[in-house]
């Protein structure tokens, strides 16, 4: 079989779909349709043969305008792929139907997705998310592929994974903690001054600190790193970042892609979690983690992209010493025992 796994979101969204992609790969050859913001993560997923890229006008922090030519190219590319089946993965608040229409136009004979809205003839498998306790996004994606008739192969524990990262391409301390201060959505990131205070507290506790960020975050990472931490802002691609995170004792990060990348390489996470989305769905999956942040502030569950409350109280209320204590708790077994 030729299967197309579709996730038109950011890197973190693609990473949490990884176990479901491996379930599809047990049935045949899998390509991934990703947005530009998620294509890097798609290329790191085990079981993926190729990655198709499309910038959807219905998704993303700053959605692209409708481009009929780009839509036409996507339909032609999918048609040329000769896929037997497509599975459209979405978050709980998104509709799969715009993409399902394009896949149907491309001649995909079997399409599966989770949909609250009536899909008409756009879906062959209309999955409904389980009600009751919140399902993590990893588990919700696996629920969908199981409804479509696929499952993880024997021996696969369903945790996040990426292809084994090569070296980071930079010199790293022997032992260190990563602080990643940025986020794709501003409401999910700590305030820069808070992140800098966390770095200072970790340094005072005797730890080396590495600050990471993308090319557009160089000013942020420089300010957060100060004079005492190693600033890697803009110096690694996603694969290089995976290698840095894999080498770290722990990662301090908001609810954003690198939290899931850390989980995919098995590194413990101190999660500074802004509750604009539910932690039950988006907390680091399958690794030891400590979740910090007031989960009961007024904006909880609002999906706000810019913080609607002055002072960002959900995260600003977390004292740097609490972060250090969380790192200590997660890495206690790694610490050298001294007389």
The torsion angles phi and psi of 274, rounded to 5 degrees, stand at: -80, 130
Rounded-to-integer distance, Cα 182 and Cα 189, Å? 6
Q: What is the pTM of this model?
A: 0.94
pLDDT score at 235: 95
pLDDT score at 338: 33
Helix (H) or strand (E) segment spanning residue 81: helix 68-81
- DSSP output for 94-161: --SHHHHHHHHHTT-S-EEEE-SS--TTS-SEEE-PPPSSPPPHHHHHHHHHHHTT--PPTT------
Asked if the model's pLDDT at residue 248 lies above 50, the reply is: yes
pLDDT digits (tens, 9 = 90+) for 151-167: 999 999 999 999 987 87
Question: Which is it for the CA torsion 61, 65, 70, 74, positive or negative?
Answer: positive
pLDDT digits (tens, 9 = 90+) for 164-190: 878 778 899 999 999 999 998 888 999
Q: Which pLDDT band, with edges at 50, 70 and 90, does 337 fall under? A: very low
């Amino acid at each position: 079989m030729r299967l197309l796994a579709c996730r038109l979101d950011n890197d973190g969204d693609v990473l949490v779909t990884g176990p479901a992609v491996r379930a599809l790969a047990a049935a045949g050859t899998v390509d991934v349709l990703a947005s530009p913001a998620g294509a890097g993560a798609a290329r790191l997923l085990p079981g993926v043969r190729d990655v198709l890229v499309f910038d959807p006008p219905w998704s993303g922090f700053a959605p692209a305008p409708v481009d009929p030519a780009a839509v036409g190219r996507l339909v032609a590319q999918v048609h040329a792929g000769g896929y037997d089946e497509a599975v459209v993965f979405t978050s709980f608040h998104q509709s799969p139907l715009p993409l399902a229409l394009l896949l149907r136009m491309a001649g995909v004979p079997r399409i599966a997705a989770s949909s609250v809205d009536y899909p008409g003839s756009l879906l062959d498998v209309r999955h409904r998310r389980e009600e009751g306790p919140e399902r993590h996004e990893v588990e919700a994606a696996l629920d969908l592929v199981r409804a479509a008739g696929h499952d993880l192969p024997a021996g696969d524990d369903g945790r996040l994974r990426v292809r084994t990262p090569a070296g980071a391409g930079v010199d790293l301390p022997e032992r260190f903690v990563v602080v990643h201060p940025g986020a794709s959505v501003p409401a999910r990131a700590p305030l820069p001054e808070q992140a800098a205070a966390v770095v200072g507290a970790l340094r005072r506790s005797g730890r080396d600190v590495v600050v990471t960020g993308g090319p557009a975050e160089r000013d942020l990472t420089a300010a957060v790193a100060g004079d005492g931490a190693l600033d890697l802002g803009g110096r690694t691609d996603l694969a290089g970042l995976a290698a840095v995170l894999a080498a770290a004792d722990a990662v301090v990060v908001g609810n954003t892609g690198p939290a899931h990348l850390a989980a995919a390489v098995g590194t413990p996470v101190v999660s500074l979690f802004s509750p604009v989305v539910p932690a039950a769905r988006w907390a680091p999956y399958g690794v030891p983690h400590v979740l910090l942040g007031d989960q009961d502030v007024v904006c909880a569950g609002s999906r706000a992209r810019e913080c609607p409350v002055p002072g960002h109280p959900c995260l600003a209320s977390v004292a740097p010493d609490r972060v250090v204590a969380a790192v200590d708790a997660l890495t206690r077994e790694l610490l050298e025992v001294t007389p």
